[in-house]
Structure 1
Amino acid sequence: MRIAVLSDVHGNALALEAVLADIGRQATDVICNLGDHFSGPVDPLGTAQLLRGFDAISILGNHDRYLLDEAPEDMSKVDRIAIEALRPCDLDWLRSLPETDVVGDVLYLCHGTPASDDTHWLQTKDADGRFFPTAPDVIASACEEIALPLICCGHSHVARAVKLENGHIVFNPGSVGRPAYTMADPTSIARLSPDAGYALVTQKGAEWDIELRQVPYDHMSAAQQARDHGAKTWAKNLEMGWQR
Protein backbone atom coordinates (compact mmCIF):
# COMPACT_ATOMS: atom_id res chain seq x y z
CA MET A 1 0.00 0.00 0.00
CA ARG A 2 1.23 3.50 -0.81
CA ILE A 3 -0.34 6.72 0.49
CA ALA A 4 0.48 10.30 -0.47
CA VAL A 5 -0.14 12.85 2.30
CA LEU A 6 -0.12 16.58 1.66
CA SER A 7 -1.06 19.56 3.78
CA ASP A 8 -1.14 23.34 3.97
CA VAL A 9 -1.48 24.18 0.28
CA HIS A 10 -2.49 27.72 1.30
CA GLY A 11 -3.74 28.76 -2.11
CA ASN A 12 -0.45 28.06 -3.91
CA ALA A 13 -1.64 26.46 -7.15
CA LEU A 14 1.84 26.40 -8.68
CA ALA A 15 3.21 24.33 -5.81
CA LEU A 16 0.14 22.08 -5.82
CA GLU A 17 0.49 21.36 -9.54
CA ALA A 18 4.08 20.25 -9.00
CA VAL A 19 3.18 18.00 -6.07
CA LEU A 20 0.26 16.39 -7.90
CA ALA A 21 2.51 15.71 -10.89
CA ASP A 22 5.06 14.04 -8.61
CA ILE A 23 2.35 12.01 -6.88
CA GLY A 24 1.13 10.89 -10.29
CA ARG A 25 4.51 9.22 -10.87
CA GLN A 26 4.46 7.30 -7.55
CA ALA A 27 1.67 4.74 -8.14
CA THR A 28 -0.21 5.73 -4.98
CA ASP A 29 -3.34 3.98 -3.75
CA VAL A 30 -4.72 6.91 -1.72
CA ILE A 31 -4.13 10.66 -1.51
CA CYS A 32 -4.82 12.49 1.77
CA ASN A 33 -5.01 16.25 2.26
CA LEU A 34 -4.78 17.67 5.79
CA GLY A 35 -6.31 21.10 5.29
CA ASP A 36 -5.58 24.81 5.04
CA HIS A 37 -6.43 24.56 1.37
CA PHE A 38 -7.13 28.05 0.05
CA SER A 39 -5.98 30.81 2.42
CA GLY A 40 -3.02 32.60 0.92
CA PRO A 41 -2.06 35.42 -1.45
CA VAL A 42 -0.95 33.35 -4.45
CA ASP A 43 -3.89 31.76 -6.34
CA PRO A 44 -6.80 30.64 -4.12
CA LEU A 45 -9.24 30.12 -7.00
CA GLY A 46 -6.76 28.14 -9.09
CA THR A 47 -6.06 26.01 -6.05
CA ALA A 48 -9.76 25.38 -5.51
CA GLN A 49 -10.18 24.27 -9.10
CA LEU A 50 -7.29 21.82 -8.74
CA LEU A 51 -8.29 20.43 -5.34
CA ARG A 52 -11.89 19.86 -6.29
CA GLY A 53 -10.81 18.08 -9.45
CA PHE A 54 -8.95 15.10 -7.98
CA ASP A 55 -9.88 12.25 -5.70
CA ALA A 56 -8.51 12.64 -2.18
CA ILE A 57 -9.52 12.19 1.44
CA SER A 58 -9.54 15.79 2.69
CA ILE A 59 -10.13 17.36 6.09
CA LEU A 60 -10.52 20.89 7.44
CA GLY A 61 -7.66 23.06 8.67
CA ASN A 62 -7.89 26.04 10.98
CA HIS A 63 -7.78 28.54 8.11
CA ASP A 64 -10.55 26.64 6.34
CA ARG A 65 -12.62 27.07 9.48
CA TYR A 66 -11.84 30.79 9.57
CA LEU A 67 -13.10 31.15 6.00
CA LEU A 68 -16.39 29.51 7.00
CA ASP A 69 -16.90 31.08 10.42
CA GLU A 70 -15.45 34.59 10.39
CA ALA A 71 -16.87 37.74 8.87
CA PRO A 72 -14.65 39.10 6.06
CA GLU A 73 -13.92 42.29 8.00
CA ASP A 74 -12.55 40.19 10.87
CA MET A 75 -10.32 37.99 8.73
CA SER A 76 -6.57 38.21 8.30
CA LYS A 77 -5.33 39.69 5.04
CA VAL A 78 -4.61 36.31 3.41
CA ASP A 79 -7.99 34.92 4.43
CA ARG A 80 -9.71 37.99 2.92
CA ILE A 81 -7.77 37.49 -0.32
CA ALA A 82 -9.03 33.92 -0.43
CA ILE A 83 -12.67 34.64 0.45
CA GLU A 84 -12.84 37.35 -2.22
CA ALA A 85 -11.51 34.93 -4.86
CA LEU A 86 -13.49 31.81 -4.02
CA ARG A 87 -16.89 30.78 -5.36
CA PRO A 88 -19.86 29.60 -3.28
CA CYS A 89 -19.24 26.04 -4.51
CA ASP A 90 -15.70 26.16 -3.09
CA LEU A 91 -17.01 27.13 0.34
CA ASP A 92 -19.67 24.42 0.09
CA TRP A 93 -16.86 21.93 -0.54
CA LEU A 94 -15.10 23.10 2.61
CA ARG A 95 -18.33 22.71 4.60
CA SER A 96 -18.54 19.08 3.48
CA LEU A 97 -15.17 18.17 4.99
CA PRO A 98 -14.70 16.52 8.40
CA GLU A 99 -12.32 17.81 11.05
CA THR A 100 -10.52 14.44 11.23
CA ASP A 101 -10.70 11.20 9.26
CA VAL A 102 -9.13 7.76 8.89
CA VAL A 103 -7.80 5.62 6.06
CA GLY A 104 -8.98 2.09 6.82
CA ASP A 105 -7.26 0.67 9.88
CA VAL A 106 -3.96 2.28 8.98
CA LEU A 107 -3.87 6.08 9.11
CA TYR A 108 -5.45 8.78 11.29
CA LEU A 109 -5.72 12.29 9.79
CA CYS A 110 -5.82 15.57 11.72
CA HIS A 111 -4.68 19.10 10.99
CA GLY A 112 -3.15 20.22 14.29
CA THR A 113 -3.65 17.54 16.93
CA PRO A 114 -6.53 15.04 17.29
CA ALA A 115 -8.22 17.53 19.65
CA SER A 116 -7.35 20.88 18.06
CA ASP A 117 -6.87 22.23 14.55
CA ASP A 118 -4.76 25.19 15.67
CA THR A 119 -2.26 23.50 17.99
CA HIS A 120 1.25 22.66 16.80
CA TRP A 121 1.97 19.02 17.61
CA LEU A 122 5.43 17.93 16.47
CA GLN A 123 6.90 21.40 16.93
CA THR A 124 6.65 23.79 19.89
CA LYS A 125 7.15 27.56 19.82
CA ASP A 126 9.58 29.17 22.21
CA ALA A 127 9.21 32.63 23.76
CA ASP A 128 10.62 34.25 20.61
CA GLY A 129 8.15 32.47 18.31
CA ARG A 130 10.74 30.01 16.99
CA PHE A 131 10.01 26.31 16.55
CA PHE A 132 11.84 23.44 18.20
CA PRO A 133 11.00 19.70 18.11
CA THR A 134 8.40 18.53 20.63
CA ALA A 135 9.57 15.67 22.87
CA PRO A 136 8.25 12.19 21.92
CA ASP A 137 6.52 11.63 25.26
CA VAL A 138 4.58 14.89 24.83
CA ILE A 139 3.64 13.88 21.30
CA ALA A 140 2.46 10.47 22.53
CA SER A 141 0.26 12.00 25.25
CA ALA A 142 -1.94 13.63 22.58
CA CYS A 143 -2.79 10.38 20.82
CA GLU A 144 -3.15 7.81 23.58
CA GLU A 145 -6.65 6.87 22.43
CA ILE A 146 -5.69 6.29 18.79
CA ALA A 147 -4.89 2.67 17.96
CA LEU A 148 -3.94 3.14 14.31
CA PRO A 149 -0.23 2.60 13.51
CA LEU A 150 0.14 5.85 11.56
CA ILE A 151 -1.00 9.33 12.56
CA CYS A 152 -0.43 12.45 10.47
CA CYS A 153 -0.83 16.14 11.13
CA GLY A 154 -0.10 19.45 9.42
CA HIS A 155 -0.35 23.05 10.63
CA SER A 156 3.30 23.73 11.58
CA HIS A 157 4.55 23.46 7.95
CA VAL A 158 7.63 21.65 9.30
CA ALA A 159 8.20 18.11 8.00
CA ARG A 160 9.02 15.58 10.70
CA ALA A 161 8.37 11.90 11.50
CA VAL A 162 8.52 10.52 15.04
CA LYS A 163 8.37 6.84 16.02
CA LEU A 164 6.77 6.41 19.44
CA GLU A 165 7.65 3.76 22.04
CA ASN A 166 4.57 1.73 21.10
CA GLY A 167 5.81 1.52 17.50
CA HIS A 168 3.29 3.99 16.11
CA ILE A 169 4.53 6.79 13.87
CA VAL A 170 3.32 10.38 13.98
CA PHE A 171 4.40 12.52 11.04
CA ASN A 172 3.92 15.91 9.43
CA PRO A 173 4.38 16.06 5.63
CA GLY A 174 5.40 19.72 5.68
CA SER A 175 3.68 22.35 3.59
CA VAL A 176 2.86 22.27 -0.10
CA GLY A 177 2.32 25.97 -0.44
CA ARG A 178 4.23 27.91 2.22
CA PRO A 179 7.70 27.42 3.75
CA ALA A 180 8.39 26.28 7.28
CA TYR A 181 8.48 28.63 10.21
CA THR A 182 11.69 29.86 11.84
CA MET A 183 13.50 27.05 13.63
CA ALA A 184 15.11 27.45 17.05
CA ASP A 185 18.14 25.49 15.80
CA PRO A 186 19.83 27.72 13.18
CA THR A 187 21.53 24.71 11.58
CA SER A 188 18.11 23.38 10.57
CA ILE A 189 17.78 26.25 8.08
CA ALA A 190 20.03 24.29 5.72
CA ARG A 191 17.41 21.56 5.60
CA LEU A 192 14.63 23.94 4.61
CA SER A 193 14.01 24.98 1.02
CA PRO A 194 11.43 26.78 -1.12
CA ASP A 195 10.37 23.43 -2.62
CA ALA A 196 6.85 22.07 -2.07
CA GLY A 197 6.68 19.35 0.59
CA TYR A 198 4.57 16.24 0.99
CA ALA A 199 4.95 12.70 2.39
CA LEU A 200 4.94 9.36 0.62
CA VAL A 201 3.98 6.49 2.94
CA THR A 202 4.83 2.98 1.76
CA GLN A 203 4.07 -0.35 3.42
CA LYS A 204 7.05 -2.71 3.45
CA GLY A 205 5.93 -5.97 4.98
CA ALA A 206 4.93 -5.20 8.55
CA GLU A 207 6.77 -1.89 8.51
CA TRP A 208 5.94 1.57 7.17
CA ASP A 209 8.38 3.87 5.42
CA ILE A 210 7.73 7.64 5.65
CA GLU A 211 9.49 9.57 2.89
CA LEU A 212 9.37 13.34 3.37
CA ARG A 213 9.63 14.58 -0.20
CA GLN A 214 10.42 18.02 -1.57
CA VAL A 215 9.36 18.95 -5.08
CA PRO A 216 10.90 21.89 -6.96
CA TYR A 217 8.50 24.31 -8.63
CA ASP A 218 8.50 27.89 -9.89
CA HIS A 219 8.53 29.42 -6.41
CA MET A 220 9.74 32.77 -7.73
CA SER A 221 6.55 33.12 -9.77
CA ALA A 222 4.52 32.20 -6.70
CA ALA A 223 6.41 34.86 -4.75
CA GLN A 224 5.58 37.43 -7.42
CA GLN A 225 1.89 36.51 -7.26
CA ALA A 226 2.01 37.07 -3.51
CA ARG A 227 3.75 40.40 -4.03
CA ASP A 228 1.09 41.40 -6.56
CA HIS A 229 -1.48 40.86 -3.79
CA GLY A 230 0.50 43.13 -1.46
CA ALA A 231 1.79 40.25 0.67
CA LYS A 232 5.48 41.16 0.93
CA THR A 233 6.28 38.84 3.84
CA TRP A 234 4.76 35.86 2.06
CA ALA A 235 6.73 36.77 -1.06
CA LYS A 236 10.00 36.72 0.88
CA ASN A 237 9.07 33.40 2.53
CA LEU A 238 8.31 31.82 -0.84
CA GLU A 239 11.59 33.09 -2.29
CA MET A 240 13.78 31.87 0.59
CA GLY A 241 11.95 28.75 1.70
CA TRP A 242 11.83 29.73 5.37
CA GLN A 243 10.81 32.59 7.61
CA ARG A 244 13.05 34.89 9.62
Structure 2
Amino acid sequence: MRRALISDIHGNFEALEVVLEDIHSQGIEEIFCLGDIIGYGPNPRECIDRVMETCKVTLLGNHDQGAMFDPDGFNIGAERAIFWTRSQLESATDRSANERRWEFLGELPRTHRMGPFLFVHGSPRNPLSEYIFPEDIYNHRKMERLFQLVEHYCFQGHTHVPGIFTENFQFFAPEEIDNEYTLGEGKLLVNVGSVGQPRDGDNRTCYVILDDGIDPKDGEGARPKTSPRITYRRLPYDFEKTIHKIYAVPDLEPFLGDRLRQGR
Protein backbone atom coordinates (compact mmCIF):
# COMPACT_ATOMS: atom_id res chain seq x y z
CA MET A 1 0.00 0.00 0.00
CA ARG A 2 1.19 3.53 -0.77
CA ARG A 3 0.98 6.20 1.89
CA ALA A 4 2.06 9.83 2.01
CA LEU A 5 4.15 10.93 4.98
CA ILE A 6 4.10 14.64 5.76
CA SER A 7 5.57 16.62 8.65
CA ASP A 8 6.33 20.10 9.95
CA ILE A 9 3.63 22.08 8.18
CA HIS A 10 4.06 24.97 10.63
CA GLY A 11 0.99 26.94 9.65
CA ASN A 12 2.07 27.24 6.00
CA PHE A 13 -1.23 26.79 4.19
CA GLU A 14 0.12 27.48 0.70
CA ALA A 15 2.70 24.70 1.00
CA LEU A 16 0.19 22.28 2.53
CA GLU A 17 -2.34 22.79 -0.26
CA VAL A 18 0.29 22.11 -2.93
CA VAL A 19 1.35 18.91 -1.16
CA LEU A 20 -2.21 17.67 -0.70
CA GLU A 21 -2.99 18.34 -4.35
CA ASP A 22 0.11 16.38 -5.39
CA ILE A 23 -0.78 13.50 -3.05
CA HIS A 24 -4.25 13.36 -4.60
CA SER A 25 -2.75 13.34 -8.10
CA GLN A 26 -0.64 10.31 -7.11
CA GLY A 27 -3.78 8.35 -6.24
CA ILE A 28 -2.76 8.05 -2.59
CA GLU A 29 -5.59 7.85 -0.11
CA GLU A 30 -3.83 7.52 3.26
CA ILE A 31 -1.75 10.33 4.74
CA PHE A 32 0.27 10.19 7.96
CA CYS A 33 1.27 13.53 9.53
CA LEU A 34 4.29 13.36 11.84
CA GLY A 35 3.55 16.50 13.81
CA ASP A 36 4.10 20.26 14.05
CA ILE A 37 1.00 21.32 12.19
CA ILE A 38 1.36 24.78 13.72
CA GLY A 39 3.98 27.25 14.92
CA TYR A 40 5.91 29.88 12.88
CA GLY A 41 3.33 30.20 10.09
CA PRO A 42 0.33 32.51 9.57
CA ASN A 43 -2.48 29.96 9.06
CA PRO A 44 -2.65 27.64 12.09
CA ARG A 45 -6.43 27.16 12.06
CA GLU A 46 -6.64 26.42 8.35
CA CYS A 47 -3.77 23.92 8.56
CA ILE A 48 -5.27 22.09 11.53
CA ASP A 49 -8.58 21.86 9.69
CA ARG A 50 -6.98 20.39 6.58
CA VAL A 51 -5.00 17.84 8.59
CA MET A 52 -8.15 16.84 10.47
CA GLU A 53 -9.94 16.35 7.14
CA THR A 54 -7.23 14.48 5.24
CA CYS A 55 -4.86 12.58 7.55
CA LYS A 56 -5.56 9.08 8.82
CA VAL A 57 -2.80 9.29 11.45
CA THR A 58 -1.49 12.50 13.03
CA LEU A 59 1.21 12.68 15.70
CA LEU A 60 1.95 15.35 18.26
CA GLY A 61 4.82 17.72 17.51
CA ASN A 62 6.68 19.94 19.95
CA HIS A 63 5.07 23.10 18.53
CA ASP A 64 1.63 21.52 18.76
CA GLN A 65 2.35 20.76 22.40
CA GLY A 66 3.79 24.25 22.92
CA ALA A 67 0.50 25.79 21.84
CA MET A 68 -1.36 23.75 24.45
CA PHE A 69 1.13 24.25 27.28
CA ASP A 70 4.06 26.57 27.97
CA PRO A 71 6.65 26.28 25.18
CA ASP A 72 9.84 24.67 26.43
CA GLY A 73 13.26 25.34 24.93
CA PHE A 74 12.00 27.64 22.17
CA ASN A 75 13.97 30.66 20.96
CA ILE A 76 12.36 34.08 21.27
CA GLY A 77 11.00 34.15 17.71
CA ALA A 78 9.50 30.68 17.98
CA GLU A 79 8.05 31.47 21.41
CA ARG A 80 6.38 34.66 20.18
CA ALA A 81 4.98 32.75 17.23
CA ILE A 82 3.54 30.01 19.42
CA PHE A 83 1.87 32.53 21.74
CA TRP A 84 0.35 34.25 18.69
CA THR A 85 -0.76 30.84 17.38
CA ARG A 86 -2.41 30.13 20.72
CA SER A 87 -4.28 33.43 20.51
CA GLN A 88 -5.64 32.42 17.10
CA LEU A 89 -6.88 29.14 18.56
CA GLU A 90 -8.51 30.97 21.49
CA SER A 91 -10.35 33.53 19.38
CA ALA A 92 -13.92 33.99 20.52
CA THR A 93 -14.99 34.74 16.94
CA ASP A 94 -14.36 31.08 15.99
CA ARG A 95 -15.23 29.45 19.29
CA SER A 96 -16.91 26.21 18.20
CA ALA A 97 -14.31 25.42 15.52
CA ASN A 98 -11.49 26.24 17.92
CA GLU A 99 -12.93 23.86 20.49
CA ARG A 100 -12.73 21.07 17.91
CA ARG A 101 -9.16 22.06 17.08
CA TRP A 102 -8.06 22.02 20.73
CA GLU A 103 -9.74 18.66 21.24
CA PHE A 104 -7.96 17.28 18.18
CA LEU A 105 -4.55 18.53 19.33
CA GLY A 106 -5.12 17.27 22.86
CA GLU A 107 -5.74 13.70 21.66
CA LEU A 108 -2.71 13.37 19.38
CA PRO A 109 -0.40 10.41 20.18
CA ARG A 110 3.40 10.67 20.30
CA THR A 111 4.10 7.52 18.30
CA HIS A 112 2.43 5.17 15.85
CA ARG A 113 3.52 1.62 15.00
CA MET A 114 2.54 -0.35 11.93
CA GLY A 115 4.29 -3.67 11.39
CA PRO A 116 8.03 -2.95 11.05
CA PHE A 117 7.42 0.80 10.80
CA LEU A 118 7.67 3.27 13.69
CA PHE A 119 6.48 6.85 13.20
CA VAL A 120 7.55 9.70 15.52
CA HIS A 121 8.06 13.43 15.37
CA GLY A 122 11.54 13.71 16.86
CA SER A 123 13.30 10.42 17.52
CA PRO A 124 12.63 6.87 18.77
CA ARG A 125 14.20 7.87 22.10
CA ASN A 126 12.33 11.13 22.58
CA PRO A 127 9.40 11.10 20.15
CA LEU A 128 8.49 14.71 20.76
CA SER A 129 11.64 16.80 20.82
CA GLU A 130 14.97 15.04 20.15
CA TYR A 131 16.71 16.22 17.00
CA ILE A 132 18.65 13.87 14.71
CA PHE A 133 20.81 15.96 12.38
CA PRO A 134 22.93 14.69 9.46
CA GLU A 135 26.11 15.48 11.41
CA ASP A 136 24.99 13.09 14.15
CA ILE A 137 26.39 10.24 12.05
CA TYR A 138 29.72 11.20 13.67
CA ASN A 139 28.23 10.75 17.15
CA HIS A 140 28.35 6.96 17.13
CA ARG A 141 27.18 6.57 20.72
CA LYS A 142 24.01 8.59 20.02
CA MET A 143 23.26 6.77 16.78
CA GLU A 144 23.88 3.33 18.27
CA ARG A 145 21.47 4.08 21.12
CA LEU A 146 18.81 5.33 18.71
CA PHE A 147 19.07 2.28 16.47
CA GLN A 148 18.77 0.01 19.51
CA LEU A 149 15.26 1.42 19.95
CA VAL A 150 14.21 0.73 16.35
CA GLU A 151 12.89 -2.65 15.28
CA HIS A 152 13.44 -1.99 11.59
CA TYR A 153 12.39 1.38 10.15
CA CYS A 154 11.67 4.69 11.89
CA PHE A 155 10.19 7.74 10.15
CA GLN A 156 10.50 11.21 11.67
CA GLY A 157 10.54 14.94 11.00
CA HIS A 158 11.46 17.76 13.43
CA THR A 159 14.80 18.89 11.91
CA HIS A 160 13.21 19.89 8.57
CA VAL A 161 16.19 18.22 6.85
CA PRO A 162 15.17 15.22 4.71
CA GLY A 163 17.35 12.16 4.33
CA ILE A 164 18.13 8.60 5.36
CA PHE A 165 20.35 7.42 8.23
CA THR A 166 21.80 3.93 8.05
CA GLU A 167 23.04 1.67 10.83
CA ASN A 168 26.63 1.99 9.61
CA PHE A 169 26.65 5.75 10.20
CA GLN A 170 25.85 7.05 6.74
CA PHE A 171 23.44 9.81 5.75
CA PHE A 172 21.93 10.13 2.29
CA ALA A 173 20.22 13.36 1.25
CA PRO A 174 17.39 12.92 -1.29
CA GLU A 175 19.44 14.29 -4.18
CA GLU A 176 22.17 11.71 -3.49
CA ILE A 177 19.74 8.81 -4.06
CA ASP A 178 17.76 10.35 -6.94
CA ASN A 179 14.89 10.81 -4.48
CA GLU A 180 14.21 7.06 -4.23
CA TYR A 181 15.40 4.37 -1.83
CA THR A 182 14.59 0.70 -1.27
CA LEU A 183 14.37 -0.23 2.40
CA GLY A 184 16.42 -3.40 2.83
CA GLU A 185 17.26 -5.68 5.74
CA GLY A 186 19.20 -3.12 7.78
CA LYS A 187 17.66 -0.66 10.20
CA LEU A 188 16.98 2.86 8.96
CA LEU A 189 15.97 6.26 10.30
CA VAL A 190 14.16 8.26 7.62
CA ASN A 191 13.52 11.99 7.91
CA VAL A 192 10.61 12.91 5.64
CA GLY A 193 11.50 16.61 5.49
CA SER A 194 9.23 19.59 6.02
CA VAL A 195 6.09 20.65 4.19
CA GLY A 196 6.04 24.22 5.45
CA GLN A 197 9.60 25.21 6.34
CA PRO A 198 12.38 23.30 4.52
CA ARG A 199 15.86 23.83 5.98
CA ASP A 200 18.16 21.97 3.61
CA GLY A 201 18.79 24.89 1.28
CA ASP A 202 15.93 23.90 -1.04
CA ASN A 203 12.90 26.17 -0.65
CA ARG A 204 10.53 23.66 -2.23
CA THR A 205 8.09 21.84 0.01
CA CYS A 206 8.97 18.22 0.82
CA TYR A 207 7.19 15.00 1.68
CA VAL A 208 7.64 11.23 1.25
CA ILE A 209 5.64 8.50 -0.44
CA LEU A 210 6.02 5.14 1.31
CA ASP A 211 5.24 2.00 -0.67
CA ASP A 212 5.19 -0.30 2.35
CA GLY A 213 5.11 -3.62 0.49
CA ILE A 214 2.12 -4.75 2.56
CA ASP A 215 -0.97 -6.21 0.94
CA PRO A 216 -3.95 -4.19 2.28
CA LYS A 217 -5.88 -7.45 2.59
CA ASP A 218 -3.38 -8.61 5.24
CA GLY A 219 -4.20 -5.77 7.64
CA GLU A 220 -2.23 -2.86 9.04
CA GLY A 221 0.05 -4.89 11.32
CA ALA A 222 1.15 -7.33 8.60
CA ARG A 223 4.74 -7.74 7.43
CA PRO A 224 5.85 -6.51 4.00
CA LYS A 225 5.70 -9.07 1.18
CA THR A 226 8.04 -7.00 -1.01
CA SER A 227 10.84 -4.59 -0.10
CA PRO A 228 9.36 -1.25 0.96
CA ARG A 229 10.38 1.80 -1.07
CA ILE A 230 10.28 5.51 -0.40
CA THR A 231 10.14 8.42 -2.82
CA TYR A 232 10.88 12.03 -1.91
CA ARG A 233 8.66 14.63 -3.56
CA ARG A 234 9.88 18.25 -3.85
CA LEU A 235 7.37 20.81 -5.09
CA PRO A 236 7.51 24.57 -5.67
CA TYR A 237 4.82 26.67 -4.03
CA ASP A 238 3.96 30.36 -3.64
CA PHE A 239 6.15 31.11 -0.62
CA GLU A 240 5.98 34.84 -1.40
CA LYS A 241 2.29 34.73 -0.52
CA THR A 242 3.10 33.05 2.81
CA ILE A 243 5.90 35.55 3.46
CA HIS A 244 3.53 38.47 2.83
CA LYS A 245 1.12 37.03 5.42
CA ILE A 246 3.90 36.64 7.98
CA TYR A 247 5.10 40.22 7.45
CA ALA A 248 1.56 41.43 8.14
CA VAL A 249 1.50 39.91 11.64
CA PRO A 250 3.52 41.95 14.18
CA ASP A 251 3.96 38.97 16.50
CA LEU A 252 5.59 36.88 13.77
CA GLU A 253 9.25 37.80 13.25
CA PRO A 254 10.04 38.80 9.64
CA PHE A 255 12.87 36.24 9.49
CA LEU A 256 10.22 33.50 9.71
CA GLY A 257 9.18 34.64 6.25
CA ASP A 258 12.67 35.33 4.93
CA ARG A 259 13.83 31.81 5.70
CA LEU A 260 11.09 30.35 3.47
CA ARG A 261 12.71 32.09 0.51
CA GLN A 262 16.12 30.69 1.45
CA GLY A 263 15.04 27.18 2.47
CA ARG A 264 16.92 27.63 5.76
TM-score after normalising by structure 1: 0.82
Identity %: 24
Larger Rg: 2
After TM superposition, the structure 1 = structure 2 runs for residues 159-170 of structure 1, keeping only pairs within 5 Å, are: 159-164=162-167, 167-170=186-189
Give the drift of 1:206: 3.0
C-alpha contact 1:15 1:217 (8 A) present in aligned 2: yes
Distance 1:101 1:8, change over 3 A: same
Structure with greater proportional helix content: 2
C-alpha contact 2:68 2:86 (8 A) present in aligned 1: no
2:239 pairs, out of 219, 224, 240, with 219
1:70 aligns with 2:70: yes
Give the equivalent residue in structure 2 for 1:201.
210
After TM superposition, the structure 1 = structure 2 runs for residues 48-127 of structure 1, keeping only pairs within 5 Å, are: 48-70=48-70, 76-86=79-89, 87-102=98-113, 104-116=114-126, 117-121=128-132, 123=133
Give the equivalent residue in structure 2 for 1:174.
193
Give the equivalent residue in structure 1 for 2:159.
156
Distance in 1 between residues matched to 2:260 and 2:100, nearest whole Å? 28
Give the drift of 1:201: 1.5
C-alpha contact 1:173 1:198 (8 A) present in aligned 2: yes
Please report the RMSD computed on the Cα atoms of aligned residues, expressed in angstroms. 2.2
C-alpha contact 1:15 1:218 (8 A) present in aligned 2: yes
Give the equivalent residue in structure 1 for 2:16.
16
Give the drift of 1:24: 0.9
Give the equivalent residue in structure 1 for 2:180.
none
C-alpha contact 1:161 1:210 (8 A) present in aligned 2: no
What runs of 5+ residues in structure 1 fail to find an aligned partner? 125-131, 181-188
Distance 1:26 1:63, change over 3 A: same
1:144 pairs, out of 137, 141, 148, with 148
Q: Which moved more, 1:49-58 or 1:157-166?
A: 157-166
Give the drift of 1:119: 1.3
The one-letter amino acid of 2:18's match is: A
Matched position secondary structure for 1:220: helix
What runs of 5+ residues in structure 2 fail to find an aligned partner? 90-97, 169-184, 214-224
Measured against aligned partners, the alpha-carbon deviations of 1:125-144 in whole angstroms (never above 9, x if no partner) come to xxxxxxx3534844342131
